[in-house]
Amino acid sequence: MFYEIRTYRLKNGAIPQYLNVVGDEGIAIQKAHLGNLVGYFYSEIGTINEIVHIWAYESLDDREARRQRLAADPQWQAFLPKIRDLIEVAENKIMKPASFFPQGTSTPAA
């Protein structure tokens, strides 16, 4: 399992607008192609105006195929301009879970 952690720093005050448009339209398109959404968060304390979303993939090839399908979707292409100008900085990481992390779940067992 691989986890993609996407972090966006938004323009000051843009979190409500971003969350509304993603919640109303974008997330359904993403989930249809990307599949396993582990979490979607926004900052409350610490670095402000930050969005973090985490997606899980079986392999890097699985991620690549799913991202290509998303990028080719006309609905996604029409959606992107609605959020593009709200994002100032984007960071993307691919992470592998530690051997003791229970894969297939979004949180470690207690």
pLDDT band of 110, cuts 50, 70, 90:
very low
Q: Which of 45, 41, 75, 43 is nearest to 55 (CA)?
A: 41
pLDDT of residue 108: 42
Q: Which of 11, 20, 13, 15 is nearest to 87 (CA)?
A: 11
- Whether residue 65 is contained in a domain is answered as yes
C-beta of residue 88 within 8 angstroms of C-beta of residue 31:
no
- Whether residue 107 is contained in a domain is answered as no
Q: Which of 5, 109, 18, 10 is nearest to 56 (CA)?
A: 5
Domain, as residue range, for 7: 2-95
pLDDT digits (tens, 9 = 90+) for 52-107: 999 999 999 999 999 999 999 999 999 999 999 999 999 999 998 888 877 655 44
Torsions phi, psi for 53 (to 5 deg):
-130, 145
Q: Tell me which amino acid residue 56 is.
A: A
Q: Identify the three-state secondary structure at position 73.
A: coil
Q: Which of 64, 47, 50 is nearest to 18 (CA)?
A: 50
Q: For the domain that residue 82 is a member of, what is the CATH number?
A: 3.30.70.100
pLDDT band of 109, cuts 50, 70, 90:
very low
- Whether residue 66 is contained in a domain is answered as yes
- Whether residue 83 is contained in a domain is answered as yes
pLDDT digits (tens, 9 = 90+) for 10-67: 999 999 999 999 999 999 999 999 989 999 999 988 888 999 999 999 999 999 999 9
- Whether residue 102 is contained in a domain is answered as no
